[in-house]
């Protein structure tokens, strides 16, 4: 196993942990994007460029966008509910 492979494996382990311990959902979505970038490098270093190409867009753009928009919608609805009750 090369130094590069060990380095990306460590990056993925640290990134996965960072997603779990992120303090709130908003930051979690952003850390998830960075973790996806680490996964992309993992696939690339372990010689699977096909999966790396899918992962780079899905994890850095596709998934965070959906999570962020869902958070915004939930935030909006909570705001409306508070206005209703006040």
Three-state DSSP at 56 gives: helix
User: How far is it, in rounded angstroms, from Cα 38 to Cα 14?
Assistant: 10
CB closer to other proteins, 10 vs 65: 65
Min. distance of Cβ 53 from other proteins in angstroms?
Answer: 4
CA atoms within 13 A on the CB side of 69: 6
CB closer to other proteins, 27 vs 73: 73
| Binding residues for other proteins (CB under 8 A) | 1, 5, 46-47, 49-50, 52-54, 57-58, 61-62, 65-66, 69-70, 72-73, 76-77, 80, 83-84
Min. distance of Cβ 41 from other proteins in angstroms?
Answer: 15
């Amino acid at each position: 196993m090369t130094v590069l492979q060990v380095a990306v494996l460590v990056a993925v382990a640290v990134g996965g942990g960072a997603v779990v311990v992120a303090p709130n959902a908003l930051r979690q979505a952003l850390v998830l994007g960075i973790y996806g970038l680490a996964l992309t490098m993992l696939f690339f270093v372990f010689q699977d460029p096909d999966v790396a190409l899918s992962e780079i867009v899905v994890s850095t753009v596709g998934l965070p966008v959906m999570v962020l928009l869902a958070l915004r919608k939930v935030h909006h609805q909570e705001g409306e509910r508070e206005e209703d009750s006040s």
